[in-house]
Amino acid sequence: MAKASIFAALPLTNFKSPSLFRVKNSSFISFTETHFLRQSNSTGIVRSSTPRGIGSVSCSSVTDEASSEELQVRTLTWKWKGYSIRYQCAGTSGPALVLIHGFGANSDHWRKNTPILGKTHRVYSIDLIGYGYSDKPNPSEFGGEPFYTFETWGEQLTDFCLDVVKDEAFFICNSIGGLVGLQAAVSKPEICRGLMLINISLRMLHIKKQPLIGRPFIKSFQNLLRNTPVGKLFFKSIAKPETVKSILCQCYHDSSQVTDELVEAILRPGLEPGAVDVFLEFICYSGGPLPEDLLPLVKCPVLIAWGEKDPWEPIELGRAYSNFDAVEDFVVLPNAGHCPQDERPEMVNPLIESFVARH
């Protein structure tokens, strides 16, 4: 039985481009080839006819210095339903890409992808509400109704595309971000050109996947965390650099990629007011959709990529998703863990480019 972790999804340079070796409905990335075949990008951009006016955009800061090889990444703020949402962007032409992070992470988890992909695409990486430097409204403000759900984040993503991107886009998603992308693609299929799901969360703590005998105990533990001081003490015990680093070293196959920069990028926004309540609310969220519920409803092409060394979302379980009609390929990423976009960007970036070029 797969391990279930409440932390699952925490979070054009000179390199050899991969070739894809297809076996049935799966591929394996190899670095034995030095060339990379790609189609030319379409010159026509289809604009959505949906009315705008969902929010407003302002530039709050520019935090990333452009190097000689990378584009400058801009950091901006978008107002959504009265909440401030941080996002980062790079590039001014080409197809639009929206990068969606996982649980406990934020748009900085795409810092090795945004400036590279921005050379030939319009790239946006967004902080989901409750995470990163986006606002973190208290869950108790919503009258007992769950707020931090895939429906909420899916709506945030579709509104972002309509109001900021102002175009249809490819959704590039990691871990629980994959559920967000799927939810958005199902609710407004006209805005999603394609989905790339990188180690999508299997949601092993979902009520449907919990053993019957264990459900009362899991529910009691979740209530203990959410409704008593135990939860905040638990959060305080893990919201430390050494603990965050230890957790990241579990899900990264190459622990040398777990740098102080990465630890700070994950931890610092997690120390902001309200972060603890979001954390506790989500780890107690055992409902909502599963990938297998949404994949049959998706109308756009889907590519699934999986770090073969992921200890939280085992690849043998992930392969089952390749059987859905919308999934055109399942790509194995060797020597990568749960967050290949950060651990092995030299593999993931060209894979994203290839997927986008084909569509």
**Tens of pLDDT, residues 183-212:** 999 999 999 999 999 999 987 677 776 677
Give the per-residue pLDDT at 224. Answer: 80
In this structure, of 143-152, 207-216, 324-333, the range with the lowest mean pLDDT score is: 207-216
Q: What does the block give as tokens for 283?
A: 């780890």
Percent of the chain with pLDDT over 70: 80
Instruction: Evaluate whether residue 334 is within a structural domain.
Output: yes
Q: Is residue 163 part of a domain?
A: yes
| pLDDT-derived band at 70, boundaries 50, 70, 90 | low
Q: Residue 8 domain-assigned?
A: no
We report the CATH number of the domain holding residue 337 as 3.40.50.1820
296: containing domain: 74-205+289-358
**Pairwise pLDDT comparison (34 vs 227), residue with the higher score:** 227
DSSP 48-60: P-S---SEEEEEE
| Helix, strand, coil abundance in the chain, percent, nearest 5 | 40, 20, 40
Residue 249 in any domain: the answer is no
- Answer yes or no: is 255 within a domain: no
Give residue-wise pLDDT tens across range 97-125.
999 999 899 999 999 999 999 999 999 99
- What is the number of other CB atoms lying within 10 angstroms of the CB of residue 50? 15
Res 42: pLDDT: 33
Share the mean pLDDT of the chain.
82
The residues facing 330 across adjacent strands are 26, 304
- The whole-number pLDDT of residue 189 equals 96
Query: Which whole number is the average pLDDT over 256-273?
Result: 96
Whether residue 272 lies inside any domain: the answer is no
Predicted local distance difference test score (pLDDT) of residue 220: 80
Percent with pLDDT over 90 in the chain: 64
pTM of the model: 0.81
- Predicted confidence (pLDDT) per residue in 12-44, tens digit: 333 333 434 343 455 554 433 222 223 333 322
Looking at the domain assignment, is residue 113 inside a domain?
A: yes
pLDDT at 222 over 90: no
Contact 321, 2 (CB under 8 A): no
- Neighbouring residues of 221: CB distance < 8 A, sequence distance ≥ 6: none
Is 54 inside any structural domain? no
List the single range of 35-39, 80-84, 211-215, 216-220 with lowest mean pLDDT. Answer: 35-39
Q: Which residues of 206-237 are buried (b: 16+ CB within 10 A; e: fewer)?
A: beeebeeeeeeebeeebeebbeeeebeebbee
Domain count, the chain: 1
242 contact partners, CB below 8 Å, separation of at least 6:
none
Structure confidence by residue, pLDDT tens digits, 299-323: 999 999 999 999 999 999 999 999 9
